[in-house]
Chains A and B, each alone.
Chain A
Amino acid sequence: MKAVARAHPLWLAYILHRISGIGLALFLPFHFWVLSLALNNAAQLDAFLTLSDLFLVKLAETGLVFLLAVHMFGGLRLMALEWLPWSPSQKTWAAAATSGAFFISIIFLMQAI
């Protein structure tokens, strides 16, 4: 028999949230270990930071920042969905306002750096 059809937006948001959460849980210990090098072993940290110039490493890091962003917004979305008894149109307006504000602030940030 066929697999169950699940491809609707809320389910996709749910699976994205779970995968990004697991990805973060796997990555964060490593991330903190690298940070700890700054205190314990500066030379090794420098060696690692040189490595981070590599394209592949950059790509991986971008992916991890993406995971955090996805998980954070996914989590905020869930908390809003469950804790704020809003009507569907209120939710649409809130999502539009948030993404609009986020977009403007990112452009601002990119111009600043």
Chain B
Amino acid sequence: MSEREIISVTVQRGGPEAPQYPQVFEVPAFESQTVLDVVSWIQQNADPTLTYRFACRVGMCGSCAMMVNGVPRWTCRTHVNKVLKGGKIEIGPLRNLPVIKDLAADMDPFFDKWVAAEGRHHPTLSRDDAIAEIDPEQPARVEASLGIECINCSICYSACDTVAGDSDYLGPAALQRAWTLYNDGKDADKDAILDAVSGKGGCHSCHSMGSCTAYCPNGLDPLSAIAGLKRATTQRFFRGRAK
């Protein structure tokens, strides 16, 4: 039997409580190995103190995102052979977020902005009313449906240079969520949504550089959703608020 191939993995260690430094691990290659498998192998076989985060392992929960060779990726569905460069990989915590320790980034700012962008449901009816029917082919619903598969992984947020330069910027995922709700026939407060996304750090801060859309693992398009908010806020500015 031939020797198993070895991958040289550079992992960013440390956080606020210890200095940050890169540490190199030699990890045996397996077939169909994902980047998350590599990180788990290190934690189980080389250094049990390595901190990282995952849950579903199938691209549903959005908790395993990390920087892989400088690109934000969902590690559970990123195959090693797709990202391996000369037998090496570099893995770090998600960019644009504070680091808790090692590969675990603090997602609080990401979720706080989700709320700040009015990313919550404003009901039209109460539980006592009959359920309203929604035609899935209706244009606004089609637009809303384009954004609902977001898994809150924060990959777009890490990819965005506007987030990197402006700590107030709400970011692609929160703004896309706002656009989804804006187009949702069952949402009763469009004005609250437009108010939340038109101020400082809102949709008009986006420079349409499209890194969010380029790297979203679910193939979503926050860039176009934000363009939708730019149009909606501008139309409201000229036409006035709905009464």
Contact = CB atoms under 8 A, between A and B. Distances in A.
B210 A3 contact: no
Contact of A85 (B90, B210, B227): B227
Interface string B204-234: 0001111101100000000110011011000
B70 A4 contact: yes
Given A81-B227, A82-B230, A14 B209 contact: yes
Interface stretch (A5-13, A25-33, A47-55, A104-112): A5-13
Nearest to A15: B209
A15 B162 CA distance: 12
B233 to A, nearest CB: 12
Contacts of A8: 210-211, 214
B3 to A, nearest CB: 28
A1 B161 CA distance: 17
Interface residues of B, number: 24
A44 to B, nearest CB: 40
A83 interface: yes
Contacts of A4: 67, 70-71, 95, 159
Interface in A83-99: 83, 85
B123 interface: no
Contacts, number: 57
Contacts of A6: 161, 211
A34 interface: no
Nearest to B161: A6
- For the residues of A in contact with B, the DSSP-based class is helix
A10 B231 contact: no
Contacts of B92: 1
B22 A1 contact: yes
A74 to B, nearest CB: 11
B51 interface: no
Interface in B80-105: 90, 92, 95
B12 interface: yes
B70 A5 contact: yes
Contacts of A3: 70
A78 interface: yes
A2 B90 contact: yes
B90 A1 contact: yes
Nearest to A78: B208
Contacts of B207: 14
Nearest to A83: B231
Nearest to A6: B211
B234 to A, nearest CB: 8
A1 B227 contact: no
Contacts of B161: 6, 11
B69 interface: yes
Interface string B111-138: 0000000000000000000000000000
Interface of A: 1-6, 8-11, 13-15, 78, 81-83, 85
